[in-house]
Amino acid sequence: MESKKEQQIYEVTAEVDISIINEWENWIVEHVREIVALDDGNIFSKGVINRLNNSLLGSLPDEKSTTTTSTYVMQYTAVNETSITTYIQKYAPTLRKAVPAFADKIKTSRRILVEYKTISNPPQTKNFGYVF
């Protein structure tokens, strides 16, 4: 039985005070670029910056209309199964110290995701639709 490599993603969620959004957005792009370039790109193959958009879900009845923060989720795709451990032990402490002066206006949390299962659309042909 062939074993499949488990894809790992290191994820950082940042809740950012809206008073610093523009400055933070400029900074985070460079920060993610720096992390992806670590060890000549041999730790993470890519970094993705996502912005949470709850408005697509529609308004909830009890939801307040005044928002003082915006949430971003950065996802770093690990090159291999030891990449995240290497990053956390070798690079993360120094990079966390380098966070700019506005760090007191950001709340962060981190987690590691491991791909459990990928489900794709079944293949289709031009004339017959799905092929089983």
Residue pLDDT, tens place only, 33-92: 999 999 999 999 999 999 998 777 775 555 555 689 999 999 999 999 999 999 999 999
pLDDT given for residue 131 in this prediction: 58
**Which residues are bridge partners to 51 per DSSP?**
72
In this structure, what DSSP letter does residue 31 have? H
pLDDT at 38: 97
SS3 content of the chain, % helix, strand, coil (to 5): 35, 30, 35
Cβ–Cβ under 8 Å, residues 38 and 4: no
pLDDT at 108 over 90: yes
CATH of 8-116, one of 1.10.357.10, 3.30.420.40, 3.30.70.100, 3.30.460.80: 3.30.70.100
SS3 102: helix
Nearest to 47 by CA among 21, 84, 81, 82: 84
